[in-house]
Structure 1
Amino acid sequence: MPAAPNPPVPPVPSVPSHPFDPADAPVSVLGLGAMGTALAGALLAAGHPVTVWNRSAARADGLVARGARRADSPAAAVAASPLVIVCVTDYAIADTILADATIPGTDTWAGRTLVNLTSDTPERSRETAGWAARHGIPYLDGAIMVPTPVVGTANGFVLYSGSPAAFDEHGATLRAFGPNAPFLGEEHGLAALYDLGMLDFFYTALAGLVHAFGVVGADGVSAAEFLPFANVIFGILPDIMAGTAAAIDAGAYPGEQDNLTMEAAGIEHIVTAAKTRGLDVGVLEAIKSVTDRAIARGHGGDSFASTIEVIRSA
């Protein structure tokens, strides 16, 4: 059976050199998982002409019903708009889509800006930025810091880094995802780095909260009953965080008010009580290991911030 002929390459329409009015700037969204669908929906709600593409074309049906245009290929999606947004599971998938969208021998990306809102590491962000630079594509890397229902609301929060000129031109359009859209700087890996740091704090804090509910729950106290007392800790965290940040940046960890030896003893009490109640203590033992190693290095009289010395040299 003879091979099917290659489909004709769609012409790449010209893009005006002046910035678009952010109120009606066309945008293409590649990748329609839960987050990509939320992004496209927010753009539609803000009044933007939106072109969408997904490998499983049926994922676009709901957006098409709301007024989006369905592209039949990544290249067609890129051709449709001056601003192209990719949001998929990881950079391996994103790189494949971008390769498929880049037709050799054509100016596929002429006049286009690429915004990658895929989550991954700073290293992967820089690799894709290098690919974009080799193809002459203005590139922004981003990190979405809210769940899908919050995208497009007043609490929407997306971090950006990369091309300052691209952010200047398209920042107003990108704020369709939410008004909290800080530009962190020209180094492309910054958005992913901040993302990792914020999620590191979030997940370890959430693990601590769930474990605390487990400890009190083992003795019959419900999570709802204990929650107001957990909120007391939440209330004092901002001052503790500010002091910890200042100590780490200064490399000095005064412990006159609260030293690490005392903290380690308190952690040991929680470990003992949790084991007695048959609870998992893996997270607590990891914390205790860090404090014990810091004390062994001479930080027993210092504050908890001194554990950064162990974390940095693990």
Structure 2
Amino acid sequence: MDDKTRTPVTVIGLGLMGQALAGAFLRAGHPTTVWNRTAGKADGLVAEGARAAATVGDAIAAGSLTVICVTDYRAVHETLGAADVELDGTTLINLTSGDSGQARETARWAEARGARYLDGAVMAVPPTIGTPDAVILHSGARSDFDAHEQTLGALGTVTYLGADHGLASLYDAAGLVMMWSLLNAWLQGAALLRTAGVDAGTYAPFAQRMAAGVADWLPGYAEQIDRGSFPAEVSALETDVRAMAHLIEESEAAGVNAELPRLLKAMADRAVAAGHGKEQYPVLIEEFVKPGTR
């Protein structure tokens, strides 16, 4: 496929991520039109071969595929809702961060204006865009994804999740909680070991092995959750609760913040009180599906 047959792409929003997205399309040979509220942010991309559009409407009219990545969903509506913007006939890929409700509402809004709409989430930092390490999630009509999968592949590893436009946002949130929970657990351990003179660099390889080992448990634990049956094949929750108590005691004795282990134990204590002490750790899903207390 030469440059003349590559899909023309429009990128709206040229923050760090938007610039990385446009740059990846350019490197893959796609004619790329860009627009940003602050026009000067397009200068570097123009130097690389992009075309800077004077208006949002002009940018969208330049091709059949538009990628938007702006501050939030309110900015999406403000940018694309102007009177001179015609969405009819375009496929709109929204890679703006937001929640699943906003994604579904924006899908209805865009489709009512004649656009085909895919919601997406970028599970990557800007420097990795255009490499396999950049995971880009998409949700919406399968036919719309299939039509542009090859073009979107210029951005990284593209994944289709399903027809529900909210899925990309939900996966994004699920990925973020995994990231923060893992990092917070590592920081708790690093703080504990630092009291004995062990630096974080020394601890890191051990922590990596622990994280990898726990990751190996996930498919089996997922089977228990999906079956709704939690036999204690490895350890009973009541045993884990005793270990959590030890972690709290160790943290307090070392003068280290114990809020995180207290939170873990509070949830586990509720599950034990509800009669789940003899079951395995994934039974805590019953606590996570409940609305939290304020």
TM range (shorter): over 0.9
Residue 222 of structure 1: aligned partner: 199
- The structure 1 segments of at least 4 consecutive aligned residues displaced by more than 4 Å after TM superposition are 20-23
Conserved 8 A contact 1:22-1:170: no
SS in 2 for 1:184: strand
Is residue 2:57 matched to residue 1:57?
Answer: no
For residues 59-114 of structure 1, the C-alpha deviation after alignment (integer angstroms, 9 at most, x for no partner) is 111111111111122111111111011001211111111112x537xxx2233110
TM-score with structure 1 length normalisation? 0.88
**C-alpha deviation, 1:157, in angstroms:** 1.0
**Structure 2 alignment gaps of length 5 or more:** none
Q: Decide whether aligned partners of structure 1 residues 69 and 308 sit closer, same or farther in structure 2, where only a CA change above 3 A counts.
A: same
Is residue 2:191 matched to residue 1:209?
Answer: no
Conserved 8 A contact 2:10-2:34: yes
Within 2, Cα distance between the matches of 1:189 and 1:115? Answer: 13
- Counterpart of 1:159, as a letter, is L
1:96 to 52, 75, 78: 78
For residues 204-242 of structure 1, the C-alpha deviation after alignment (integer angstroms, 9 at most, x for no partner) is 111111111111112110111112211221231233111
Residue 22 of structure 2: aligned partner: 40
- Listed as ranges, the matches of 1:129-140 within 5 Å are 129-140=107-118
Residue 13 of structure 2: aligned partner: 31
Within 2, Cα distance between the matches of 1:282 and 1:65? Answer: 51
Is residue 2:100 matched to residue 1:119?
Answer: no
Conserved 8 A contact 2:87-2:110: no
TM-score with structure 2 length normalisation? 0.94
**C-alpha deviation, 1:22, in angstroms:** 9.6
Residue 153 of structure 1: aligned partner: 131
Residue 82 of structure 1: aligned partner: 64
- Counterpart of 2:49, as a letter, is G
- Listed as ranges, the matches of 1:1-314 within 5 Å are 24-100=6-82, 102-103=83-84, 108-178=86-156, 180-314=157-291
**Structure 1 alignment gaps of length 5 or more:** 1-19
Aligned residues: 290
Within 2, Cα distance between the matches of 1:262 and 1:28? Answer: 56
Within 2, Cα distance between the matches of 1:174 and 1:109? Answer: 19
Within 2, Cα distance between the matches of 1:177 and 1:151? Answer: 5
**C-alpha deviation, 1:53, in angstroms:** 0.7
- CA RMSD of superposed structures (Å): 1.7
Range moving further from structure 2, 237-246 or 122-131 = 237-246
Quote the sequence identity (%).
40
**C-alpha deviation, 1:313, in angstroms:** 2.2
Within 2, Cα distance between the matches of 1:154 and 1:301? Answer: 43
SS in 2 for 1:257: coil
Conserved 8 A contact 2:95-2:120: yes
**C-alpha deviation, 1:150, in angstroms:** 0.9
Q: Decide whether aligned partners of structure 1 residues 254 and 23 sit closer, same or farther in structure 2, where only a CA change above 3 A counts.
A: farther
SS in 2 for 1:265: helix
Conserved 8 A contact 2:3-2:31: no
**C-alpha deviation, 1:21, in angstroms:** 8.5
